[in-house]
Each structure stands twice: as structure tokens, then as C-alpha cells.
Amino acid sequence: MNAVDDEADFAVVTCADHNMLAAACCALLSARNQLDRPARFFLVTLDATPADHDAISDFKKRHGLPLEVLTFTRDQLPKVTRGRWSPSVLTRLFLDQILPRDLDRVLYMDADTLVVRPMNALRRIGFMRKPAIAVDDFIMAFPRKVQERRQKLGLGPDSAYFNSGVILFDWPSTLQGELLAQARHKLETCLDNYHATDQDALNAALEGKWVRLSPRWNAQTGFLPEISKPVIVHFTGRRKPWQRQVAWIHREHAKTYRQYLAGTPWQMEKNRSLPGQVASFLLHLGKSIEGLRKSRKLHGYLNRPDAGDVWKNDND
């Protein structure tokens, strides 16, 4: 296999607007650092300015990151209400129109993710004749919530519901089945029932067409305290580790962002004072005590008897 083919067999992509560009570049760098062979890395920018592109170029050169930058504009997105989510989250629904068609496996990652352990297994894991591989969303641990979501989306009573922040696509099958086009259509025609916009649309389009992996491959903030050795951490809370107010649970990840962004136009501010760190810990402790009941549900869900069968493809 030549170098071009070796890279084309696996691609990593994320999408970001101005506010998330720094995080997106860090996500892609973390992916590069946790792969043992070359891959292709794509950053889809939404309405990026010339200054944004200069900052991306600086980041690429500083880290030797072979990053391919693709542009998208807001007027290409559907005119839908997105709630608290950025318009850039809808960009992933257009990846079939943005990315090259000659790729094999495409790993989509949200900009607020970080790969913290080797993820080479994603290059060889089996799709089981399905076009996508994903991880259960946090709400799967709460039967009432997930049942409400199923009813809103018209999913079957036993259908799983995935988090769209990390999805591995069999790219030829995804293109052939026009799955992203189906998700776009569902979003535009069923928006009133969609709370999580693009994530709901993807779940509706991919019902029964995805393989479930362990949450360690998409360790959402709510799952994180219960997960041993996460591979991809997903900062789904409002407080992000590259921001000034870092959640206590993400304090170690903040060091990674500080290291990645040092010397770039996005360089982070200095560490908070000791009183600030103490306040962060006390807030974390208070939330942990308040969430004991929720933690029991999460623990029970992650350790249920059938979890080994559901996550049988989870291998190192």
C-alpha cells in the first residue's frame, strides 16, 4: 500500500466556527498524536475570516499537522432554529457534499473532543454491514428521557439513541445510502419534534444502521466519572477546559489545551489562582453530592449484564 492509500483509508474531520476553531484544531492534533499511521485530517470552517485562517496556518506549522482546511458558509445551512447550539453543528450533515468521495473510514469528532489514548482500533473495527459506529448518548441511562426522545423521533421502543459527537462512518456505504441527505430531509421536515437538531436527525436517519461501542470511545462529561481509561473525551457541559473557568473534572485536560495552544494566536491565559481552584473543587464536590442518585443510575447502566454483548467490538 503506498503512502496516499495509507492515508486515505482513514480520515478525521471536525467542523467549527470562529468561536470553536482553537478547540477544533486541538481535537485534530490529539487524534494525530494517538494514531500510529498517517491519516487525513480535515477542518471544515464556517464563515472563517482571513485572521482565522492565519491562526489555523500558524497552528498547523507549529505542530506539523497535515491539516486540510475546507470552507463552508452559513447561507448553505438550512434556516432552522438551533436553540443553544452553534450553527456549525449542522455542518456535519453536509459532509457528503464537502469531503472527498474516495475515503474509506471517516471519523467525525465534535470540536469539543480530545483523544487521550491510542485509537488505532478504529482503523480495523468491524462495521457488521452497517454504515456507522457510535456511542450511546448520556440520556440512554435514563429510561424516561430516552423513551420521550424515541416518541418524538418516531423510533422503535427498543431503539438505541447515540451521541453524534463521535461517529465513525463507512464512507462508501454512507454515500451510497445517501444517509446524510436523509438526515437533512428529516431535519427540515420534522424540526418541531427535534430537541437536539442534527443529532436527532442523524438518529432518525440511522435507526438500526449503526453499531454500538463502549462509552470510552465518546466519554461525555456525564459519563466520565464512571468510565475507566476513556479514549475520546467529549466535553458536553457548558464549561470547557480551554476556557478560564475550568471544571474540576477537566483540570488535567486543561493542561493539554494549554500545551497545544502555547505560542499560537489562541494562547490560553495563565492558571487560575489557588482560591479559584479551591472554589472549582468545592463546586465539583457540591454537584457530586447532588448527583448521587444520577450516579447510581449511570453506574447501573454502564455495568448492566448485557453491556458486554452490546460493546463486543470494543477492543484496544
The average pLDDT across 23-44 equals 97
CATH topology of domain 3-219+302-310: Spore Coat Polysaccharide Biosynthesis Protein SpsA; Chain A (3.90.550)
Distance separating alpha carbons of residues 122 and 133, to the nearest angstrom = 10
Written as nine digits, the cell of 204 is 432518525
Q: Are 131 and 210 in contact (CB under 8 A)?
A: yes
pLDDT in tens, 143-177: 999 999 999 999 999 999 999 999 999 999 999 99
Please tell me the pTM assigned to this model: 0.89
Phi first, then psi: give them for residue 219, nearest 5 degrees: -80, 85
Pure H helices in the chain: 3-8, 21-33, 50-63, 95-98, 143-153, 171-176, 179-190, 197-205, 251-261, 274-290, 292-302, 307-310
Q: What's the Cα-to-Cα distance from 124 to each of 51, 133, 251, rounded to whole Å?
A: 38, 12, 32
pLDDT tens digits for range 272-306: 554 555 444 444 444 444 444 567 777 788 888 77
Which residue in this structure is represented by grid cell 450533515? 93
Q: What is the pLDDT of residues 107-149, one digit of tens each?
A: 999 999 999 999 999 999 999 999 999 999 999 999 999 999 9
- For 10, the 3-state DSSP assignment is strand
Going by the DSSP 8-state scheme, the letter that residue 312 receives in this structure is T
Q: How far is CA 146 from CA 8, 67, 121, 207, 307, in A?
A: 37, 37, 29, 14, 17
Mean pLDDT of the residues in the chain: 87
Question: Under 8 Å CB-to-CB from 69, ≥6 apart: which residues?
Answer: 42, 43, 45, 53, 56
What residue segments make up the domains of the chain, in order of their start? 3-219+302-310
Q: Are 139 and 187 in contact (CB under 8 A)?
A: no
b/e burial code for range 167-192 (CB count within 10 A of at least 16 → b)? bbbbbeebbebebbebbbbbbeeeee
> Residue 236: which residues within 8 A CB-CB, separation 6 or more?
112, 138, 163, 165, 220, 221, 222
Mean pLDDT of 78-85: 63
Taking residues 234-255, what's their average pLDDT?
85
The pLDDT tens digits of the residues spanning 212-226 come to 999 999 999 988 888
Which candidate, 99, 90, 133, 132, places its Cα nearest to that of 231?
133
